[in-house]
Chains A and B, each alone.
Chain A
């Protein structure tokens, strides 16, 4: 049952995102208390496996969650169906994933 799987995947990805968003905001607020430059942030994140895993999981969840939501919108508002609907949704998911993972690589990868 595809619709059931998509429904579950969207809820599970949302459940993954909630703590990660709170962690992201919490760390940001904590870290910039005394003022922090981009260079200093990158100095802490580069080479960190932990932040790579955290943001990597977050990007995966976002790509999945947003693509399923967009699929619903395309289906209901644009009356798209079948192969076209699924292809567009996959393209959006793949695009989000590639852009997100590039950003993660830039933050945690070596300079």
Chain B
């Protein structure tokens, strides 16, 4: 962490669209407790109103403001400038591994499509007329689901993952992490279908356990551990000759 920041902050911002682009330079005045999102907002309000970016909650809940900051994916609303600044330089780019719509705004549809491909939807086994399922907080499956459940779908893990960069079919850490939390939800009735979905080409078996997802997850989740859990589930299932 840097104690004091020289005035001005020299900021490089990627400008362009799916066809290509270039970096634009801006000088931004430092502020106390300034976040990277504050820097981008300052540029949009004071230097170039045509700059496109995405944010909503500003408190780390919605997962919409993730960008590459000095080469690493980060949630910009909760990233203080003094933690990531290099001298007095900040380089801000759209998230890696996602198509750019314009400037810092990425097209997230492929990311969410993979979430669906991994059977990320909860499929309840009981109706509203049946009693609420009793699940002990001490149950190990509940513990496994709990560890994975706080994902905000910011796509930071997806941007950090080299396997996503190499293999466009790979479902990615967020979708597989979601699948793992649902595989441990005893109320869900699509465990078998989900296990098939994550075993298919592009599924959990493609993960190399490099842990870029875990290193960058802003909520300190460990998608690599979730994917390892899915691999164990797939392996045990196949060795027991369950249909896969």
Q: Are A76 and B163 in contact (CB under 8 A)?
A: yes
Q: Are A4 and B163 in contact (CB under 8 A)?
A: no
> What is the 8 Å Cβ interface bit string for chain B, positions 199-240, against chain A (1 contact, 0 not)?
111010110000000000000000000000001001100110
Chain B: residues with Cβ within 8 Å of the partner, total of: 15
Known: A8-B235, A8-B238, A11-B235. A1 touches B199 (CB 8 A): yes
Task: Give the nearest-CB partner of A78 in chain B.
Answer: B166
B67 shortest CB reach to chain A, Å: 26
Chain A: interface size category:
under 10
Which residues of chain A are within 8 angstroms of B166 by Cβ–Cβ distance?
A: 76-77
> What is the 8 Å Cβ interface bit string for chain A, positions 6-48, against chain B (1 contact, 0 not)?
0110010000000000000000000000000000000000000
Which residues of chain A are within 8 angstroms of B234 by Cβ–Cβ distance?
A: 4
The residues in B between 88 and 119 inclusive whose CB is less than 8 angstroms from any CB of A are none
| Bound-complex Cα distance A7 to B206 (A) | 9
Task: Give the nearest-CB partner of B168 in chain A.
Answer: A79
Q: Are A4 and B205 in contact (CB under 8 A)?
A: yes
The residues in B between 162 and 211 inclusive whose CB is less than 8 angstroms from any CB of A are 163, 166-167, 199-201, 203, 205-206
Asked if A102 is an interface residue, CB under 8 A from chain B, the answer is no
Q: Are A7 and B163 in contact (CB under 8 A)?
A: no
Q: Are A7 and B167 in contact (CB under 8 A)?
A: no
| Bound-complex Cα distance A76 to B170 (A) | 11
Q: Are A3 and B167 in contact (CB under 8 A)?
A: no
Asked if B244 is an interface residue, CB under 8 A from chain A, the answer is yes
> What is the 8 Å Cβ interface bit string for chain A, positions 69-88, against chain B (1 contact, 0 not)?
00000011100000000000
Q: Which of A8, A11, A77 has the most CB of B within 10 A?
A: A8
Which residues of chain B are within 8 angstroms of A76 by Cβ–Cβ distance?
A: 163, 166-167
Q: Are B167 and A4 in contact (CB under 8 A)?
A: no
| Bound-complex Cα distance A11 to B232 (A) | 11
A16 shortest CB reach to chain B, Å: 15
Q: Are B244 and A1 in contact (CB under 8 A)?
A: yes
Known: A75-B167, A76-B166, A76-B167. A3 touches B235 (CB 8 A): no
Which residues of chain A are within 8 angstroms of B244 by Cβ–Cβ distance?
A: 1, 4
Task: Give the nearest-CB partner of B203 in chain A.
Answer: A3
Which residues of chain A are within 8 angstroms of B238 by Cβ–Cβ distance?
A: 4, 8
| Bound-complex Cα distance A49 to B201 (A) | 41
Which residues of chain B are within 8 angstroms of A1 by Cβ–Cβ distance?
A: 199-200, 244
The residues in B between 42 and 72 inclusive whose CB is less than 8 angstroms from any CB of A are none
| Bound-complex Cα distance A27 to B1 (A) | 52
Q: Which 8 A-B pairs have the closest CB atoms?
A: A76-B166, A7-B205, A3-B201, A4-B199, A3-B205, A76-B167, A1-B244, A4-B238
Using a CB–CB distance below 8 Å, which chain B residues touch chain A?
Answer: 163, 166-167, 199-201, 203, 205-206, 231, 234-235, 238-239, 244
Can you list 13 contacts pairing A with B, beta carbon distance less than 8 Å?
A1-B199, A1-B244, A3-B199, A3-B200, A3-B201, A3-B205, A4-B199, A4-B234, A4-B238, A4-B244, A7-B205, A8-B238, A77-B166
